[in-house]
Amino acid sequence: MMSFGLITDFILVALLAATLFYVLKLLRRLGELQKDRDSFQKLIQDFTAATTQADRALADLRIGADGVGRELGERIGKGQGVIGELQRSSEDLKMLIARAEAASDKLETQLGASRQAPPPPPKVRSDGDSAVAQDPQTQALLSALGRIR
């Protein structure tokens, strides 16, 4: 029979072979884990860079939005000023139209009255020229008619 030492040596060789097999298997898994760890670190670096870039973009966006907001406020202020001026001008124009209508009505009344009244006799000037003297209503009517032509 085999000696006790030889049997223990075979058992030891078998155990060492099994240990070597598991060591190789663990080395492979550690290599994969190291690759995954490197990939994870690169992912963290990329995420950090993207976060930093997003922070810068947000800061730029805030600055731009503040500028646009100020400019928009200024334009709104100018627009409101223009609207106020237009309202004042509109009121002025309404007043002028009302005065023009009143003057037109007065002129029509005077024109109607002058058509119904007999013409005044011509007056002779004291300097010897025979010119027709006109009353103020007739002069106003003639000047208004002259402007119409």
pLDDT-wise least confident of 13-17, 47-51, 52-56, 106-110? 106-110
42 within some domain: yes
Whether the pLDDT of residue 77 is over 80: the answer is yes
pLDDT-wise least confident of 22-26, 48-52, 65-69? 65-69
40 within some domain: yes
Check if the beta carbon of residue 113 is closer than 8 Å to that of residue 76. no
122 within some domain: no
- Please, what's the b/e burial string for 59-79 (b: 16 or more CB within 10 A of its CB; e: otherwise)? eeeeeeeeeeeeeeeeeeeee
Task: Give me the number of domains the chain comprises.
Answer: 1
132 within some domain: no
- Structural domain containing residue 54: 16-100
Helix axes 136-148, 4-116, angle to 10 degrees: 130
134 within some domain: no
38 within some domain: yes
CA dihedral 53, 58, 60, 62 (to 10 degrees): -170
pLDDT-wise least confident of 6-20, 21-35, 110-124? 110-124
Q: pTM for this structure?
A: 0.40
37 within some domain: yes
91 within some domain: yes
